[in-house]
Amino acid sequence: MKPVSVRAQVRYEKRRMAVEALSQGEVASDVARVMKIPRRTLFNWIARYRHGGEHALQDRHKSGRPRKAEAKVLQWLYDAITLGDPRQYQLPYCLWTLAIVRRLLKKKHGVEMSKSGVSRLLKHLGLSPQRPIYRSYKRGPEEMKKYLDKTFPGLRAKARRIGAAIYFVDEASVRSDAHRGTTWGKIGETPAVEDSGDRFSIRLISAVSPRGDMKFSSFTGKMDGIRFVNFLKKLHADVGRPLIVIADNASYHTGGVVQRYIKQTRGQVTLGSLPKYSPELNPDEQVWNHAKARLAKLFVATKDEFKAALSSILFSIQRSTDLILSFFQLPDTQYAANAVY
């Protein structure tokens, strides 16, 4: 066997590294840019790898019929999934499922694959099944841009100027029948969880800061201006210095009761507003996501057990500074990560 030249080995390693980077979830355009290759070349390498493994990435396997057509399909599929959803293909669905991908491959390119084959293909492309983040169609890009470019930087500058602490606040109702986890059942049959009618809920409000601090409180009844002001008073007392609170656009946040209290503090408490329909910009949302996910794994039979379990989870979150800091490291919340004064 003819020995592999140094140049051929370098080319092989470059191909292998590029394929591995994409299969581990790196963005195709980033891999192509770093490797200084066209995106179509990257997908050609993926096509070769799919049919012959790493061995097929060597120069001596370059001969024979090129797989340009397949590489083109791979590039189309990657772009379709990462840049949009099935609705752009006149399908009444917003989620990419194996069945939908399989159907479109056959319809658009005449490629027939089993679901397991589609699954392997998507993994080769660095894609994986994930829980989607639902965003409201009502949210306004211009309002979000204004908040990120002007509103929040202004609040951050004010906090630096007066030595204020910044907290993000959110309210939630946690229900006993909020099923967010998984359950065992027959393969191919999605289990149905019936509502027993015995559900109960607890209403809570919490606040997190970029320093990794968290405060929370439970309340009965409906949140209103009076209850919100009571929470702000306790939070301000705990912080012990000027306070800037950022919350959503609930009517009671901007109502007369809250505004009178803010005015009475003479600048010691400032209330800022998130853009409408943009909960993903609030790091405090992750408190409830995390708490509900943990709660779903527990068995609670009574309201007292439910309340005790939820309190234990919230106290656990409160003690974990690193966890709270991670709430400020998501793509939509990183803008607030360094607002520490």
In the chain, % of residues over pLDDT 70: 83
What number of other Cβ atoms are within 10 A of residue 28's Cβ? 21
**Token digits of residue 208:** 């997190």
Provide long-range contacts, Cβ within 8 A and 24+ apart, for 272-275: 272/151, 272/152, 272/155, 272/244, 272/245, 272/246, 272/247, 273/151, 273/246, 273/247, 273/248, 273/249, 274/147, 274/246, 274/247, 274/248, 274/249, 275/139, 275/140, 275/143, 275/144, 275/146, 275/147
Pick the more confident residue, 254 or 296: 254
In this prediction, residue 187 carries a pLDDT of 46
Instruction: Say whether pLDDT at 195 is over 70.
Output: no
In this prediction, residue 179 carries a pLDDT of 45
The one-letter code for the residue type at 113 is M
Reduced to 3 states (helix: H, G, I; strand: E, B; else coil), residue 235 is helix
12-16, 222-226, 298-302, 315-319: the lowest-pLDDT one: 298-302
- Name, in order, each residue with C-beta under 8 angstroms of 161's C-beta and a sequence gap of 6 or more: none
In this prediction, residue 152 carries a pLDDT of 96
Asked whether 309 and 201 are in contact (CB, 8 A), the reply is no
- Name, in order, each residue with C-beta under 8 angstroms of 137's C-beta and a sequence gap of 6 or more: none
76-80, 160-164, 307-311, 328-332: the lowest-pLDDT one: 76-80
Pick the more confident residue, 189 or 164: 164
Instruction: Say whether pLDDT at 234 is over 90.
Output: yes
Rounded alpha-carbon distances, angstroms, from residue 331 to 27, 221, 248: 15, 34, 19
Q: Please name which of 170, 135, 143, 122 lies closest in space to residue 25, comparing C-alpha atoms.
A: 122
Q: Could you report the per-residue pLDDT of 247-279, keeping only the tens digit for each?
A: 998 888 989 999 999 999 999 999 999 998 888
The one-letter code for the residue type at 202 is I
Q: What is the pTM of this model?
A: 0.59
The whole-angstrom distance between residue 151's C-alpha and the CA centroid of its chain comes to 23
- Domains annotated on the chain, with CATH: 6-124 (no CATH), 141-180+199-336 (3.30.420.10)
Mean pLDDT of the chain: 82
Q: Residue 93: pLDDT band by 50, 70, 90 thresholds?
A: low
Q: Which is it for the CA torsion 227, 229, 230, 235, positive or negative? A: positive
Q: Could you report the per-residue pLDDT of 135-149, keeping only the tens digit for each?
A: 555 566 888 999 999
Reduced to 3 states (helix: H, G, I; strand: E, B; else coil), residue 175 is strand
Helices (H) and strands (E) in the chain, counts: 13, 5
Q: What is the mean pLDDT of residues 110-129?
A: 84
Instruction: Say whether pLDDT at 2 is over 50.
Output: yes
Instruction: Say whether pLDDT at 165 is over 70.
Output: yes
Q: What is the mean pLDDT of residues 99-125?
A: 86
End-to-end alpha carbon distance in the chain: 67
Radius of gyration, CA atoms only, the chain: 26
142-156, 189-203, 267-281, 301-315: the lowest-pLDDT one: 189-203
Q: What is the mean pLDDT of residues 223-239?
A: 95
- Name, in order, each residue with C-beta under 8 angstroms of 31's C-beta and a sequence gap of 6 or more: 18, 21, 22, 42
Instruction: Say whether pLDDT at 341 is over 60.
Output: yes
Sheet with 269-273, side-by-side order of all strands: 214-219, 201-208, 165-175, 243-247, 269-273
Instruction: Say whether pLDDT at 197 is over 80.
Output: no
C-alpha 101/C-alpha 71 separation (Å) is: 16
Bridge partners (DSSP) listed for residue 322:
none
The one-letter code for the residue type at 91 is L
42-46, 100-104, 178-182: the lowest-pLDDT one: 178-182
In the chain, % of residues over pLDDT 90: 34
In this prediction, residue 66 carries a pLDDT of 45
Pick the more confident residue, 336 or 331: 336
In this prediction, residue 139 carries a pLDDT of 61
Q: What is the mean pLDDT of residues 92-117?
A: 83
In this prediction, residue 221 carries a pLDDT of 83
Instruction: Say whether pLDDT at 161 is over 90.
Output: yes
C-alpha 249/C-alpha 271 separation (Å) is: 11
Q: What is the mean pLDDT of residues 10-27?
A: 84
